[in-house]
Amino acid sequence: MTVPNITLNNGVSIPQLGFGVWQVPPEDTRAAVATALEVGYRHIDTAEMYGNEKGVGEAIRESGLSRDEVFITSKLNNGFHAYDDALKALDKTNEDLGVEQVDLFLIHWPLPGVGDFVETWKALEKAYADGKARAIGVSNFQQAHLQRLLDETEIVPAVNQIEVHPYFSQNALRAFNSEHGIVTEAWSPLAQGKIVDDPAITKIAEAKGRTPAQMTLRWHLQRGDIVFPKSVTRSRVEENFHVFDFELSDDEIAAIDAVNRDERIGPDPDTFNWIP
Ligand code: NAD
């Protein structure tokens, strides 16, 4: 099963399918990531906020894979948006992961009511120049937030990691990302498991002999987004990985497009200003 790579705007390659570890308890993370690596995943999405970077690093080291065979993303936690705090937080992330440089480092949330995310982005630019991350990007940035970075800073974010799933298809923001060379990463790609019971998706899945999760992941992949579904159940980890030996037809894509109801599960980035 070969996972395609996507080339980011600075030339770095990222596997289009990865494994997400939000809500995987720290004590279970090493085993969960070990399973994902055994199944064949080579891209792990974590964050300082998830509290499990150490387990991610341990599993990768114990896997026998070399460092450059596994792509690691982590994210700046909300309490560290000040310039110096952001630089220190990335050093701590690299230390906890046990790596010289993380592959991709993101501002987790823009927190527009808290401080100035432009200053935070300038810290990430400095860290990138210093080799602390192979690529830098953002998460949960709306168009207006991205526009400020485009107008006021040097480096265009490599990715914007945003909530996207069949109930929240985000086509306008995805189009804005792509116009500016920013790759969309779709978080909660399975709508946190809710799509499994969707009647329209179940119907086309049954007709094709695939599962609703596989149909939904294919929908994302064929739209060009990067995904990293999360599961701690081995059979689901395998199921979510086996999505490269079939394709959705235009009609099947249209059937999944039709379930959109512009409904978020997560917070609205324009008003979310939470600091843990
Ligand atoms: P998801 O859409 O990946 O759904 C995960 C849940 O779906 C699992 O807990 C499980 O209950 C169920 N599931 C998974 N595979 C299944 C299968 N094959 N069949 C049936 N049920 C299945 O949701 P998520 O974990 O919220 O998102 C994935 C990743 O996105 C996270 O782990 C994290 O890395 C990232 N994320 C980022 C942000 C952000 O703010 N940047 C926010 C949320 C998630």
Ligand 1: residue of 21, 105, 188 to mutate (most ligand atoms within 8 A of CB) is: 188
The three-state secondary structure class of 7 is strand
Domain for residue 260, yes or no?
A: no
Share the mean pLDDT of the chain: 98
Q: Is any atom of ligand 1 closer than 6 Å to the C-beta of 244?
A: no
Find the length of the chain.
276
Domain for residue 269, yes or no?
A: no
Domain for residue 102, yes or no?
A: yes
Residue appearing with tokens 């055994």: 38
Give the strand pairing for 226-227 and 183-187: parallel
pLDDT above 80 (res 1): no
Helical spans, DSSP H, in 130-170: 143-152
The pLDDT assigned to 176 comes to 99
What's the pLDDT tens digit per position in 59-81? 999 999 999 999 999 999 999 99
Whole-number CA gyration radius for the chain: 18
Ligand 1: residue of 231, 237, 243 to mutate (most ligand atoms within 8 A of CB) is: 231
Q: How many domains does the chain have?
A: 1
Domain for residue 50, yes or no?
A: yes
The pLDDT assigned to 27 comes to 97
Domain for residue 265, yes or no?
A: no
Residue nearest to atom 36 of ligand 1 (CA): 187
Its domain, for residue 40, covers 5-193+225-248
Q: CA–CA separation, 104 vs 86, rounded Å?
A: 14
The pLDDT assigned to 118 comes to 98
Domain for residue 14, yes or no?
A: yes
Catalytic residues: 50
Q: CA–CA separation, 243 vs 214, rounded Å?
A: 6
Torsion of Cα atoms, 33 then 35 then 40 then 43, to 10°: -10
Q: Is any atom of ligand 1 closer than 6 Å to the C-beta of 74?
A: no
Q: CA–CA separation, 44 vs 32, rounded Å?
A: 11
Mean local confidence (pLDDT), 175-188? 98
Residue 64 Cα, ligand 1 centroid: separation in angstroms?
26
Q: Is any atom of ligand 1 closer than 6 Å to the C-beta of 32?
A: no
Residue nearest to atom 34 of ligand 1 (CA): 20
Q: Is any atom of ligand 1 closer than 6 Å to the C-beta of 77?
A: no
| Nearest atom, ligand 1, residue 230 CA | 3
The CATH number of whichever domain residue 150 belongs to comes to 3.20.20.100
The pLDDT assigned to 234 comes to 98
Residue 193 Cα, ligand 1 centroid: separation in angstroms?
7
- Interface pTM (ipTM) of the complex? 0.99
Q: Is any atom of ligand 1 closer than 6 Å to the C-beta of 78?
A: no
Max alpha carbon distance in the chain (Å)? 55
Domain for residue 44, yes or no?
A: yes
Contact by Cβ (8 Å): 98, 58:
yes
Residue 190 Cα, ligand 1 centroid: separation in angstroms?
6
Domain for residue 31, yes or no?
A: yes
Residue 231 Cα, ligand 1 centroid: separation in angstroms?
7
Residue appearing with tokens 């609703």: 212
Residue 188 Cα, ligand 1 centroid: separation in angstroms?
5
What's the pLDDT tens digit per position in 84-138? 999 999 999 999 999 999 999 999 999 999 999 999 999 999 999 999 999 999 9
